[in-house]
Chains A and B, each alone.
Chain A
Amino acid sequence: MKVLVTGAGGFLGVHVVERLLARGHRDLRCFLRDRGKVERLLGLSQSYPGSQLELCYGNLRSKSDCARAVTDIPLIIHLAAGLKGAPAELFADSVVASRNLLEALEERNDLSMRQTRVVLVSSFGVYGVVALGRGARIDERTPLEDHPELRDTYSYSKLMQEKLFWDYQRKVGFELVVLRPGVIYGPGGGAFSNRVGLQIGPVFFHLGGSNLLPLSYVVNCAEAIAIAAEHPNSVGQVYNVHDDDLPTASRYLREYKRHVRRIRTIRLPHFVTRMLAQLLEAYHRRSRGQLPAIITLYKAAAAWGGNKFDNAKLHALGWRQLVATSDAMAETFDYLRRKDGKQC
């Protein structure tokens, strides 16, 4: 069965391709935007003899590129999304691109919809955690965000993207599987999620305190995606994706400082963060946006609400954490030391 992986050249994409190959898939179409990101895919192709990696370059904002991407494909793993940049870019790269892909799928006539499975990689950001109160447990039954526009543009774009997929699934009838990873990390990724804190000028404000970090090591996350893509019982289901032995934000920061580099940090207790958020919000309103409202009460509750997490449903599908968190953090910090350490 030929598999399409969109965003195949990205941080997560390369690992998803690797896990698919490791699990015996040999015929893959790797859709990627930047030609500069092809080297690691070519390396994988050599590591798995007999594999056929069809490199398909394009941009999902283009309807014709989408049509090319989905032709003859019974299994689509959609990873491509906007991660940073101006809000308009995030929506164009996540939502408009997804809509184009779904339209191309709807319009093709080589395979029936019943023969087609789509796996969407969504995000924890779609959950409406603010209404739940501090310390609430997040699982797949947690309601979706009512006010994503109050949170952050990334979460808003991912929620709009996921809703779009469910709408098309109902309309067109393909099999849909949705995975919602927490914070994906690993070599090639960034150092800090907002859940740990925010870098403002030369100081890192540690806002996550002793909250659990819903980390998902990129290899473990890729494995979860590959399993969910194959499993017969995953159709129509949603899966939270995070590792088992989750560290706290303060442990992550402490180990970063020990293994990567010293950084100036100020730890703010949650009540101080909330007070600061109130002040910033009030100033943002009064000054009509002279300083951005980087922390608001809503964002503080969403990012630093001390939630608990549950990946039991993913386990029930047969997923096991391939790389232990201690090893995963060691590999990540080793990469960051080589990358960030050079800048010191």
Chain B
Amino acid sequence: MIYLEGLSVLGPGLPDWASTAACLRGEQDFVAADVALPAVLALPATERRRVGTAVKLAMATGFAAVTDAAADAVQLANIFSSTGGDCDNCHNLLEVLASDERLISPTRFHNSVHNAPAGYWGIATGCTAASTSLCAYDATFAAALIETATQVLASGQPCVLIAFDTAYPEPLYSQRPIPYPMGVGMVLSPQRTAASKAALQLAFTGDAAAVMADAGLEQLRRTIPAARSLPLLQLLASGQPGRVVLEYLDDCQLAVTVGA
């Protein structure tokens, strides 16, 4: 058993957890809209200039979850999950490598590693704890939730999960059409605390994954790996105990049991 201490959402028409929860409870209509991303004030000015959508999204998602948990980011081991890392940056490198000059920017190159947002998170927070960055294509969110939960259990310490996805520009966009950037953050703890919102238990299952009844939210769930979390977020928004099956790998889904 692990405990949810903090939660954040930043996505299209989903500017924060409060309004996302209202959407998921059916109290507000879901209307997709562009995502506003704040500058990363926690980074030194030299670094702040070097970061694009992916890092801004990951930072904002992470800080919102940590704030919600009233936790201290410097203490938290962290798991960053994303299907493509910084896709704008990758596209730029591919374009330069396909050109005659091939004059790659050193900053672009070091930002091309999948763990670049995690590296900036460390610089911004001063956190020297373990940090893992991972990918499992469409299964990335469930993979990251499992990695975070097992890390919490093994270390006996709280950890923060920062799931974020951004899109490539064309031409790779056609191969991987992610319509909007979206981030989901969670602080998970091995002990129940005053801040605990819910108790979570994970298990693999052959049951079919849940889908969203709202067509717009289901479209998000199907097209953004981080949005594969929406059925779990909906259960959490309801404030009720229950069990939900998240889409993971083709023949292995992830059941999450939510308790008080």
Chain A partners chain B: no
